[in-house]
Chains A and B, each alone.
Chain A
Amino acid sequence: MQDDPPVPGGVAVVVDARGSHCPGALMELIVALKHARRGEFLLVLADDPGSAREIPEWLAKVGQRHVSTRSEQGVLHIMVEKTRG
């Protein structure tokens, strides 16, 4: 079993979107990022497989940083850094 990668200052916000079919993990992340500060790290927990593709795809479009994705017991751990805005 791996751990989430260490990030400077630690994880500022955990977006726990497990069981969220609607509005879903990406929508929860969009809200959390809006209110996070630049340089903060957010950890998304999601159990829908689509988030592994969709979240990095959206982060690339808006210029935010996808740090890592790993899966543990069916739960995706997606680390994100707010780099702009």
Chain B
Amino acid sequence: MRIMIVGAGIGGTILANRLARLLAPELQRGEVDVVVLSASPRHLYQPGLLHLALGQTTVDALYRDQRTLLDPRIALLIDEVVAFAPDSKQVRGASGNAYSYDWLVIATGSRVTPEEVPGLAENAHGFYTEAAALRLAQALQAFDGGRVVVTTGVPHKCPMAPLELTFLLQDLFVRRGIAPRVDLLYTYPIGRLHSIEAVAEWARIEFARRGIRSATYFNIAAVDGATRTVHSEEGLSVDYDLLIAIPPHRGADAIERSGLGPRGWVPTHRRLLTMQGRDDVFVLGDTTNLPVSKAGSTARFQAEVIAANLASRVRGGGDTHGYDGKVLCFIETSRDRATYAAFNYAEPPRPHAPSRAMHMAKTFYHRLYWSSLRGFP
């Protein structure tokens, strides 16, 4: 009996390690094998890319060998999935190999697609790849004043990223002594500064206090690099000296090509996390089409549910756990203060004042990231 996990990001890795513990007897007896299929032999700590762009960390701190992060009882195969064939219970890799499974977990994450907006890829900085983050770090180092525009596509990764980036940029400009020469303009697609009303209201007060300007109902339509202007769907145009985008994103190409879900998001049962119409396929993390934040904590909470249900199924039982929409997001508001938002399908987030204690908690979480992949408890 084979459980195959495609994707070795935070969700896939935690799930594999939890399964290794939950199914220890079956693994030992050779009744089950758990296989992780990863496109890369290295694991990237994605939240660290923002800190790389801001000059707060180095490239080598962002990567670990994926093999060292997995329980020895888990098999790791390096191959990029190019097609899913759920009817024949197989996935196909770029190597040409086909892999069979009894249960499949799709955890292929998402990829940024700035090319969806005319001019965005050519003219805007970003930080969602190592190369982009390093380019932004150089641009920020050379920047000595002018207008910085932060703009956000839809849908986008980690909903806290636009605000967090803006606060950390303002903090950087203050520390470098160039803040009086910088006009920092934050744009956002909806009518307030963040999706969560309480966070938006808190951000409004912080923006006023810190002199950050904003333009809401601003969906990027196009960027004109020649005139250094960004245009919105709502008819606004703003000039920039430095444009930084949180670009739109999509799920994995292989999902779209295999017809599993439009734009790479797999239609998913909101509680059981199974692919709609497929009881033998689970969907994890960014890959789902659920209306929840695409964030590491989401994948972490979902992995717990899938691990418990898969272990139960292996033993002939039914699904024992359900995902309640839980998300927990930290927000860095400066170099020494942070806050957080926690919520689920039923409970909206409640605001918390930024504090040094929460900053320390987040710093601790960063440091604990690698060991948290072990999936304890």
> Interface of A with B (CB < 8 Å)?
16-24, 26-28, 30-31, 34-35, 48, 50, 54, 57-58, 61-62
**Interface assignment of B217: CB less than 8 Å from any CB of chain A:** yes
> Interface of B with A (CB < 8 Å)?
154-155, 159, 189-191, 194-197, 217, 219, 233-235, 262-263, 270, 291-293, 325, 327, 329, 341, 343-346, 348-349
B155 adjacent to A23 (CB under 8 Å):
yes
Q: List 29 A-B contacts (CB under 8 A).
A: A18-B291, A19-B291, A20-B291, A20-B292, A21-B196, A22-B196, A22-B293, A22-B327, A22-B341, A23-B154, A23-B155, A24-B190, A24-B196, A26-B189, A26-B190, A27-B154, A27-B190, A28-B291, A30-B219, A31-B155, A54-B190, A57-B191, A58-B217, A58-B234, A61-B217, A61-B234, A61-B235, A62-B233, A62-B234
Q: A31-B154, A35-B263, A50-B197 are in contact. Are A23 and B234 (CB under 8 A)?
A: no
In Å, the complex CA distance between A17 and B155 comes to: 14
A-B contacts at CB below 8 angstroms, number: 72
B195 adjacent to A21 (CB under 8 Å):
yes
| Beta-carbon nearest neighbor of B152 in chain A | A27
CB distance from B275 to the nearest CB of A (A): 16
In Å, the complex CA distance between A22 and B343 comes to: 9
In Å, the complex CA distance between A16 and B262 comes to: 15
| Beta-carbon nearest neighbor of B262 in chain A | A35
Choose among B189, B190, B348 the residue with the greatest number of A CB atoms under 10 Å from its CB: B190
A58 contacts which chain B residues (CB < 8 A)?
Answer: 190-191, 217, 234
Q: A16-B291, A35-B262, A58-B217 are in contact. Are A21 and B348 (CB under 8 A)?
A: yes
B262 adjacent to A22 (CB under 8 Å):
no
In Å, the complex CA distance between A23 and B329 comes to: 12
